[in-house]
């Protein structure tokens, strides 16, 4: 069975730490499986993820609009619309928007643990627009 969604019909998740929002279109809740996690992300200028890693999970970003920096153990690189970023499992990383940013994110499998290296537990807390709280594992 194929699924077709419009982003405005799906739950929007707003980060407890201001400046980030996400809309998943593939997750356990929507597709009934946890082999992958996929969705769109929006960052306000200056918004950033914590410096972190994912145990047991590769992921990539496809930059659609805007620009950012990606910080890894190898340093900081600039990325912009059209760039693709692949992050292997256990690689330390952070994404910071240098202007408003819109990108696609894909993670697999969706059975992972996020380890925050710089930041707080609030960096993993997201509020659904309908008022429910979703905590990233």
53-86: per-residue pLDDT in tens?
Answer: 999 999 999 999 999 999 999 999 999 999 999 9
Question: What is the per-residue pLDDT for 1?
Answer: 63
Question: What is the per-residue pLDDT for 44?
Answer: 98
Dihedral, 49, 19, 79, 59 alpha carbons, nearest 10? 40
In a domain, 133, yes or no: no
Distances in whole angstroms, Cα of residue 14 to Cα of each of 23, 24, 90, 104, 114: 9, 12, 25, 16, 18
Question: What is the per-residue pLDDT for 8?
Answer: 81
Question: What is the per-residue pLDDT for 137?
Answer: 54
Half-sphere exposure of 68 (CA within 13 A, CB side): 31
Question: What is the per-residue pLDDT for 128?
Answer: 86
3-state secondary structure of 31: helix
Give the domain range for residue 82. 22-120
Question: What is the per-residue pLDDT for 24?
Answer: 87
Question: What is the per-residue pLDDT for 29?
Answer: 78
Q: Looking at residue 35, which CATH number applies to its domain?
A: 2.60.120.10
In a domain, 31, yes or no: yes
| Length reported for the chain | 137
Residues in the chain where the model's pLDDT stays below 50 = none
Structural domain total, the chain: 1
In a domain, 104, yes or no: yes
Task: Give 22's strand partners.
Answer: 13, 41
Half-sphere exposure of 121 (CA within 13 A, CB side): 3
In a domain, 97, yes or no: yes
In a domain, 89, yes or no: yes
In a domain, 127, yes or no: no
């Amino acid at each position: 069975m194929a699924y077709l969604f419009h982003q405005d019909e799906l739950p929007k998740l707003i980060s407890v730490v201001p400046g980030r929002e996400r809309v998943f279109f593939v997750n356990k809740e929507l597709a009934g499986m946890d082999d992958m996690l996929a969705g769109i992300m929006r960052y306000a200028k200056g918004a950033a993820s914590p410096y972190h890693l994912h145990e047991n999970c590769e992921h990539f970003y496809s930059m659609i609009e805007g620009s950012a920096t990606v910080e890894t153990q190898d340093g900081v690189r600039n990325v912009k619309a059209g760039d693709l970023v692949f992050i292997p499992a256990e690689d330390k990383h952070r994404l910071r928007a240098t202007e408003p940013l819109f990108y696609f994110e894909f993670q697999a499998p969706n059975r992972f643990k996020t380890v925050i290296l710089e930041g707080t537990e609030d960096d993993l807390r997201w509020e659904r627009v309908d008022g429910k709280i979703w905590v990233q594992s």
